Amino acid sequence: MLFRYKKSFEKIAMGLMSFMPKERELKKLQQTMHIYEENPDWQLFLWKKEDDFVGLLGLQVEEESYTIHHISVNPSHRGEGIGHEMIGKIQNMMQEREMRATEETDAFLKKCPVKKGDL
């Protein structure tokens, strides 16, 4: 299940964010977290499995599209379909908006089926 980020999830969110290749350096990671905390159109979500947060999804929402900037899953839970599930849920939430990738997220998003609206 996807949960919207809040400050009390900061440590776990930073841990998951640091699996993104460009977020390994602490200073860069802190700047990225700041962007999500300060800009309402940058939205961060965590995926909870049983009692643990094991996935992270970060996007920038625009009027007719949204861009997936960050997606990561705890290495112990990779290959269980969580990445696909997060993308499926966000596509449902974003309804008719078009999903976009960045250079960093493109490879995985190309593997996810595109759907629009409340399927």
Ligand X SMILES: CC(C)(COP(=O)(O)OP(=O)(O)OC[C@H]1O[C@@H](n2cnc3c(N)ncnc32)[C@H](O)[C@@H]1OP(=O)(O)O)[C@@H](O)C(=O)NCCC(=O)NCCS
Q: Under the rule (CB under 6 A), what is the footprint of ligand X?
A: 19-21, 71-73, 78-84, 104-105, 107-108, 111
Query: Residue 41 or residue 80: which is nearer to ligand X going by CB?
Result: 80
Compute the least distance from the CB of residue 90 to ligand X, in Å: 13
Compute the least distance from the CB of residue 6 to ligand X, in Å: 21
Query: Residue 96 or residue 103: which is nearer to ligand X going by CB?
Result: 103
Query: Residue 94 or residue 108: which is nearer to ligand X going by CB?
Result: 108
Query: Residue 35 or residue 40: which is nearer to ligand X going by CB?
Result: 35
Q: How far apart are CA 34 and CA 20, in angstroms?
A: 16
Q: How far apart are CA 111 and CA 3, in angstroms?
A: 23
Q: How far apart are CA 24 and CA 37, in angstroms?
A: 19
Compute the least distance from the CB of residue 98 to ligand X, in Å: 18
Are 20 and 70 spatial neighbours (Cβ–Cβ below 8 Å)?
Answer: yes
Other Cβ atoms less than 10 A from the Cβ of 53: the count is 18
Query: Rounded to the nearest 5°, which phi and psi values hold at 90?
Result: -70, -35
